[in-house]
Amino acid sequence: MSSLNKKYSNNDITVFWQPEKCIHSAKCARSLIQVFNPRRRPWVVMENGSTEDIVQTVQNCPSGALSFEYKS
Ligand code: SF4
């Protein structure tokens, strides 16, 4: 993994973001702006959305820049 990659966690999942893959479609922001807001730092705030909504948004990322795994 590149050192530019970021990860963000809540109690259930960890979301990974690989900026070199991101095509800046802003699909994630349109889907869940409270969590994925590119104008904010950090741009991902896991506390602002449900795990279900975050998973759905991550799965709809067109580039694969966003991915996630469940915590064990
Ligand atoms: S949906 Fe994926 S490709 Fe589009 S801006 Fe978000 S992270 Fe980047």
- Domain ranges in the chain are 6-70
**Site of tokens 């050192």:** 3
Q: What are the φ/ψ torsions at residue 70 (nearest 5 degrees)?
A: -75, 145
Nearest CA to ligand 1 atom 6: 28
Distance, in Å, from the CA atom of 53 to the CA atom of 37, rounded to the nearest integer, reads: 15
Mean pLDDT of 34-53: 98
Q: Which CATH number fits domain 6-70: 1.20.1250.40, 3.40.50.720, 3.90.226.10, 3.30.70.20?
A: 3.30.70.20
Give the pTM: 0.95
What is the band of 25 on the pLDDT scale with cuts at 50, 70, 90? very high
Mean pLDDT of 43-71: 98
Nearest CA to ligand 1 atom 2: 61
**Site of tokens 């070199």:** 20
pLDDT for res 1: 57
Distance, in Å, from the CA atom of 45 to the CA atom of 7, rounded to the nearest integer, reads: 11
